[in-house]
C-alpha cells in the first residue's frame, strides 16, 4: 500500500468564497503515482468545507443565499459563540456544506462524474487556511 500527503494553503480576500480546486487535486494524485485507491480531502479548519458540486456562478450565488437564510452571518449577537469571535455562522455554514470529500481513484485519475468539481468553501476567510489531501492505494 502506498500513501501520499499534501497540504495546500488558501488566503481569500473575502469572508466567503468558493474555489474550484479540482486541477490542483488532480496534480497531487499524479504526483502520488497511486493508480487505484481512495483520496480524502478536508480543510484543517472548522469554518471551511470541501464539497463537490457544479462550477456554475449562478449556483454559487444560490448557495450564498441558501446559507445566509439557514445560518445568517448577522446580527453577530445572535450566537453564543460570538463573545470573542464573529464567526459562529461560518461553523454552521461549513456544517451544512460538509467537511470533507472522499473520491475514488481509478486508473490513476479522479473517478468523478462529468459535472463533479471539487471546491474549497471558505466561510471565514481573509487569513491563510490549509487543506489536507491524503491518498492511499497502489
Interface ranges with its own copies (CB under 8 A): 1, 3, 5, 36-38, 40, 42-46, 51-54, 56-59, 61-63, 66, 70-71, 79-83, 88, 91-92, 95-104, 106, 111-116, 130, 132, 134, 136-138
* Residue among 27 and 62 whose Cβ is closer to its own copies: 62
* Residue among 24 and 60 whose Cβ is closer to its own copies: 60
Task: Provide, rounded to whole angstroms, the least separation between the CB of residue 138 and its own copies.
Answer: 5
Task: Provide, rounded to whole angstroms, the least separation between the CB of residue 105 and its own copies.
Answer: 8
Residue by residue, what is the 3-state secondary structure of 42-105?
EECCCCEEEEEECCCHHHHHHHHHHHHHHCCCCCHHHCHHHHCCCCHHHHHHHHHHCCCEEEEE
Question: Cell numbers of 3, please?
Answer: 500513501
Task: Provide, rounded to whole angstroms, the least separation between the CB of residue 27 and its own copies.
Answer: 18
Residue by residue, what is the 3-state secondary structure of 33-58?
CCCCEEEEEEECCCCEEEEEECCCHH
Residue 20's CB: how many other CB atoms inside 10 A? 13
CA distance 97 to 93: 6
Task: Provide, rounded to whole angstroms, the least separation between the CB of residue 95 and its own copies.
Answer: 6
- Which of 70, 88, 90, 71 has its CA nearest to residue 79? 88
Task: Provide, rounded to whole angstroms, the least separation between the CB of residue 28 and its own copies.
Answer: 13
Amino acid at each position: 500500500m502506498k500513501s501520499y500527503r499534501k497540504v495546500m494553503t488558501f488566503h481569500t480576500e473575502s469572508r466567503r468564497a468558493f474555489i474550484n480546486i479540482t486541477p490542483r487535486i488532480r496534480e497531487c494524485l499524479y504526483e502520488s503515482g497511486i493508480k487505484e485507491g481512495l483520496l480524502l480531502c478536508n480543510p484543517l479548519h472548522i469554518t471551511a468545507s470541501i464539497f463537490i458540486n457544479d462550477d456554475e456562478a449562478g449556483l454559487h450565488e444560490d448557495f450564498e443565499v441558501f446559507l445566509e437564510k439557514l445560518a445568517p452571518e448577522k446580527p453577530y449577537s445572535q450566537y453564543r459563540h460570538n463573545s470573542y469571535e464573529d464567526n459562529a455562522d461560518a461553523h454552521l455554514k461549513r456544517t451544512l456544506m460538509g467537511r470533507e470529500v472522499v473520491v475514488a481513484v481509478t486508473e490513476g485519475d479522479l473517478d468523478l462524474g462529468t459535472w463533479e468539481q471539487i471546491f474549497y468553501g471558505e466561510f471565514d476567510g481573509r487569513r491563510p487556511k490549509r487543506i489536507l489531501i491524503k491518498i492511499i492505494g497502489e
